[in-house]
Amino acid sequence: MTGNNVPPETENVSIDKIHITLKVTKPHYRRAIVNRMYEYAAKYNEQPFPKMNCQHAVVLNYKPEYKNNRLLFCVNTNNPNRPFVQMFFNPSCLLPEDLDIAVNNIRFILGNTLFNKLYSEGNVSRLDIAFDIKNITFEDLAFNRNLQRSGGGHFSHDKDGRIETFYIGSKTSNIRYRIYNKTKQLLDKKGIDAPYPITRIEAEIKINQPLRMITNIKNPFERFHVFKLSDMIADKRLPICVADSIHFRGLPAVLQLLGDNERKAMEQLLTDYKVEIPPADEVFGLWKQECASFLKLFRPPVRSFSKLNPRKDVTEDEEFFYHLHAEQRSCPIAAA
């Protein structure tokens, strides 16, 4: 279960994915955003492209190492029921300096006025929180969350038949968990041989929350439990058929199928072989610290009212001047 009998420890907690939307109603702002998208892409000899059911999209960082990661700025010009601006990116996969670049590119495309509104008026529709635990071996684990009401759980297997990923919750659930062997992923994708086993737990959360308030979400790791499957199988109280069912269908699904007496016996078994992972409050607190640093990138500067050194902000008139002359720039599209 653990390397050298070392207790499981938190490796890191981070924002794995975030989807941010922003409503933009004024036509001249919309035109300017589309034009600046083309201007930005042209610097890298690229063109905006359709993506995510949106008419125009650009990559927020054109470095080759981020080619396969979802780092997109999209605009929707046809459907009035969807927010005009949609952003999809993975902060955890970016180096700090590259995250700064991505945010600065967002600022350029939106313009100062809209960027300064993003912190308070932007809405987060999806938030993935990733939690790495070291000294805990994925293949020997069973998972359950007592608060999960819909969707059971299931494993996916790789081409060699080895367990690759475990899911708790369905794709339509407001919260869904993805658990996998990060040790294997690091070796397969990056050639990194970790000195200890690492299991990754990702909470995929569907929310409707202002960007500035995302730390107010409920702790997704509450009552999330991990159990050592091999010890449960070695205990003669667990029938082999039930163990096989846990392996292929997942523990949540099996618990839903058991009768009252069988369920009580199983719950006692789970109590005996529960793995003591880092507390949920500790994990969530670490994520809040990481999130504070992320939100700081979007927080507008505080206005200075000092008469000796007043801060000059970009006014809407200056923004409109840019919009008015955007069509004269060498951009392929002048209207959305």
Instruction: Give per-residue pLDDT as tens, 11-63.
Output: 999 999 999 999 999 999 999 999 999 999 999 999 999 998 899 999 999 99
Distance separating alpha carbons of residues 321 and 329, to the nearest angstrom: 13
pLDDT in tens, 61-116: 999 888 777 899 999 987 878 899 999 999 988 999 999 999 999 999 999 999 99
Is residue 318, in this structure, part of any structural domain at all?
Answer: no
**How many separate domains does the chain show?**
1
Q: Are 86 and 108 in contact (CB under 8 A)?
A: no
Main-chain dihedrals φ then ψ at residue 67, nearest 5 degrees:
-60, -40
Is residue 167, in this structure, part of any structural domain at all?
Answer: yes
Q: What is the mean pLDDT of the chain?
A: 83
Q: Which of 220, 91, 73, 231 is nearest to 147 (CA)?
A: 220
pLDDT in tens, 294-325: 999 999 987 655 544 544 444 444 444 444 44
Is residue 316, in this structure, part of any structural domain at all?
Answer: no
- Count, in order, helices (H) and strands (E) of the chain: 10, 12
- For residue 202, list its beta bridge partners: 130, 178
Distance separating alpha carbons of residues 336 and 333, to the nearest angstrom: 8
pLDDT in tens, 281-295: 999 999 999 999 999
Q: What percent of the chain has pLDDT over 70?
A: 82
Write the burial class of residue 264 (CB in 10 Å: 0-12 exposed, 13-18 middle, 19+ buried).
Answer: exposed
Give just the sign of the alpha carbon dihedral 288, 289, 290, 295.
positive
Is residue 312, in this structure, part of any structural domain at all?
Answer: no
Task: Give the pLDDT band of residue 244 (cuts 50, 70, 90).
Answer: confident
pTM of the model: 0.81
> In terms of residue numbers, what domain contains 123?
3-298
Is residue 26, in this structure, part of any structural domain at all?
Answer: yes
Output 6 or 17, whichever has higher pLDDT: 17
Give just the sign of the alpha carbon dihedral 179, 207, 28, 100.
negative
Is residue 85, in this structure, part of any structural domain at all?
Answer: yes
Task: Give the pLDDT band of residue 267 (cuts 50, 70, 90).
Answer: confident
Q: Which of 129, 273, 130, 284 is nearest to 222 (CA)?
A: 284
Q: Are 122 and 128 in contact (CB under 8 A)?
A: no
Task: Give the pLDDT band of residue 2 (cuts 50, 70, 90).
Answer: very low
